Amino acid sequence: MLCLVADPVAAERVAALNPATRSLAGLYAEGAPREEAYERMVAEILAPVRAGRRVCAVFYGHPGVFVAPGHAAVAAARREGLPARMLPGVSAEDCLFADLGVDPARDGCQTYEASAFLRRRPRVETSAALVLWQVGVVGSREHANAPDPRELPRLVSLLAGLYGEGHEAVVYQASPYPGVPPLVRRLRLAELDAAAVTPLATLYVPPQASG
């Protein structure tokens, strides 16, 4: 079994299920592009599969939501005629809907990775909710263990232009532990700065009031 989880408690839990579990976290290099680490992870997953072994790769959250090596490993195995499948999990967005009491079916919901949102500047429907992933590392392509929102001021400026500086948003981070509350930080867009985010933070921008 291979795993990539966000904290040592989760790693211990996975290891309790299979003492032979190996972590993929060591394939990251501080300051190096994340894509390079993802390629190494895919190679690590596929090597024993090609050798005829059964492999389970465990990722935190949903293995198909912001887990590039999860999709890449499954696709590569299938291209080679090897059996592979992905089982669903619970993503940070699922936790957000529950913790904030948000129903995405009510007003609609738009979801983007923060750096891609800033780069592409998609048309935004302000009467629907907006969820921006990885706002704590917006603009960064390197792996980092600390917040590195180098383009956060530009993102704030873009959002303030759409919603107004006084529009309330929520910096959110799901709790990885039972009984421990999530991070829920409500603030005006004008107050959104590097001190308000974490590396795993998601930004929820509620719909703009009509009328």
Share of the chain above pLDDT 90, in %: 64
CATH code that applies to domain 92-205: 3.30.950.10
Asked if residues 122 and 195 have their Cβ atoms less than 8 Å apart, the reply is no
Q: Kindly list the domain boundaries of the chain, sorted by start residue.
A: 2-79, 92-205
Q: What is the pLDDT of residues 110-123, one digit of tens each?
A: 999 999 999 999 99
Q: What is the pLDDT of residues 125-155, one digit of tens each?
A: 999 999 999 998 887 665 555 555 778 999 9
Per residue in 142-168, is it b (16+ CB within 10 Å) or e — as a string? bbeeebbbebbeebbebbbeebeeebe
What phi and psi, each to the nearest 5 degrees, are found at residue 174?
Answer: -65, 145
Q: Is 6 exposed, middle or buried (0-12, 13-18, 19+ CB in 10 A)?
A: middle
The span from the CA of 197 to the CA of 38, in Å, is 24
Active site residues: 34, 38, 60
Q: Is 178 exposed, middle or buried (0-12, 13-18, 19+ CB in 10 A)?
A: exposed
Q: What is the pLDDT of residues 165-189, one digit of tens each?
A: 999 999 999 998 888 999 999 999 9
The span from the CA of 139 to the CA of 150, in Å, is 6
Q: Give the bridge partners for 3, in sequence order.
A: 23, 58
pLDDT at residue 148 in the model: 59
